[in-house]
Amino acid sequence: MTNDTTIRLDKWLWAARFYKTRALASQAISGGKVYYNQQRVKPSQRVNIDAQVTIKQGIYEKIILVRNLSLIRQNAKEAAQLYAETEASIRTRTALLEQQRLTKNLFPSSEQRPNKKQRRQIIQFKQQI
């Protein structure tokens, strides 16, 4: 971890383990899924300490503050020291996770085909209509 060098945003996101490759990080930045200090930027944007980075991954949005810079990708424990997620972001994500967990139980999985008994019930229901 270094504090004196400048580093590109795509490389920092890769080193902080938000994306598996720099190409994926660059693609996300170019696609508008990453904001640096609430502004849309290019992958070559230089990262500063205490900058705010907003990352949209699927339905989740993480707002993080840059705490340190690194030129290399390290293990997850050391990569987690490069940033700090804001409390508001954590609350929003946990609320979204809880909402998703609750709605998952409301709707049964439609990935399975109906069994023989269920097919008979469907046919019987359709004939009543």
Residue 99's closest CA among 47, 60, 54?
Answer: 60
Considering all CA atoms of the chain, what is the largest pairwise distance in Å, rounded to the nearest integer?
A: 76
User: Each residue of 10-45: pLDDT tens digit?
Assistant: 999 999 999 999 999 999 999 999 999 999 999 999
Domain boundaries, the chain: 1-90
Reduced to 3 states, what is the DSSP secondary structure of residue 61?
Answer: strand
Which residues fall within 8 angstroms of residue 45, CB to CB, at 6 or more apart? Answer: 8, 9, 29, 36
1-90: CATH topology = 3.10.290
What pTM, to 2 d.p., does this model score? 0.77
83/34 Cα distance (integer angstroms): 15
